[in-house]
Amino acid sequence: RMRVLLGANGALGHDLLGHPETRGRVEAIERAISRAGLPFTTLCQDRVADRVAGVSLPQEIARVHNPGFVSGMSKLCEELKADGRVANLDRDTYATGSSYEDLLRSVAVASEIVDEVIGSGDPSLSGFALVRPPGHHAVPRSPMGFCIFNTVSLAVERARENGIKRVAIVDFDVHHGNGTQDIFLRDKDVLYLSTHQEGIFPGTGRVEEIGLGEAKGTTINVPLPSGSGDQAVKMAWESIVEKAIRRFKPDMIFVSAGYDAHWKDPQAGCSFQSSTFHWLTRELKELALDLCKGRIVFVLEGGYDLDALGDCVVESLRALNGSPSNPLLDSDALFDDEPEQMRKVEEAVAEAYEGISRYL
């Protein structure tokens, strides 16, 4: 039977009234999971607590992020705690007195899940880190776009410490993961693959961005037009994503699991159904079973309509459990497969394919 190892950190103190990236996000997911009655294995919280209390975690984070940035965040949050203030780190990103500890805990949850999935040797086991704040916009020296530390990149480094050589990261968040792309741009052993809505924040993720030096061809971007839905994802998957991962032959797959491409999400303009994420997750797990002994870990990124976020994560978990899709928030009025929309999608996928075809 397929199993899911779930670790959560709702980062309850990292919260700002009126901001879309709120403590309510993980709470909404946990409510949706309990309503759906899904079976899962829970990550041992004692081990997470030990990691957070230990001295090595900030050093691990400093392998991806500038050490001065890491210690600066720690200092800033101490000051904020003393004053009871919230700081704006940039236009979109805030920190509170507990943000640094919350971030440590989220990183610890993700890396403990990595240890368990690799250590279990069980192909039927998948991991899902329900953590916040998200991470994929965070660059080595600074926060960006709601993100402070790049959790998925830190989880990848943890896997490599565990002897994993080649890693594929699939990022299906509606926004391009510029931070993750930057971190691995010159690394030929990491394939970074993003499908995202074109022309929105953060403005990166163009087809021409394919990696640097000997890592050319290990960054693949598939920008999709607004209004893209189920058919667009399937076309991108079949033309590019699946081929690229098969060709790369990873030892483990990571997923930057953002759910803001859902039709209800206020932060962008795509039209994914909840069930789109069941399909996508099932395909990813099947690839992992085919290529890398089932080793796959999902790390939560975006998703800002709380009902849709809960429904979509539950759909992903159903796929990882081997249960059928049973969405609450699919819509039959999205028009994402109208001829004009499909023409735009076909053009976008063809352009992305052309840009990367010599590496497929």
Q: What's the CA gap between 226 and 358, in Å, rounded?
A: 27
Residues 173, 301 contacting (CB under 8 angstroms) = yes
Structure tokens at 44: 């041992």
Residues β-bridged to residue 131: 9
Sign of CA dihedral 246, 251, 256, 262: positive
Q: What is the phi/psi pair of residue 81, to 5°? A: -65, -45
Diameter over CA atoms, the chain: 58
Q: Which is catalytic among the residues 14, 65, 136, 137?
A: 137
Q: What is the phi/psi pair of residue 56, to 5°? A: -80, -20
Q: What's the CA gap between 282 and 234, in Å, rounded?
A: 12
Element spanning 181, H or E: helix 178-183
Identify whether 176 is a catalytic site residue.
no
Residues 274, 312 contacting (CB under 8 angstroms) = yes
Q: What angle do CA 128, 132, 133 make, to 5 degrees?
A: 140
Q: What is the phi/psi pair of residue 213, to 5°? A: 60, -135
Nearest to 309 by CA among 126, 103, 132, 189: 132
Q: What's the CA gap between 158 and 119, in Å, rounded?
A: 12
Residues 222, 236 contacting (CB under 8 angstroms) = yes
Give the number of other Cβ atoms within 10 Å of residue 195's Cβ. 28
**Please, which contacts does 352-355 make with residues 24 or more away whose CB atoms are closer than 8 Å?**
352/207, 352/220, 352/221, 352/222, 352/223, 352/236, 352/239, 352/240, 353/239, 353/240, 354/207, 355/207, 355/208, 355/210
Query: What residues are labeled active site?
Result: 137
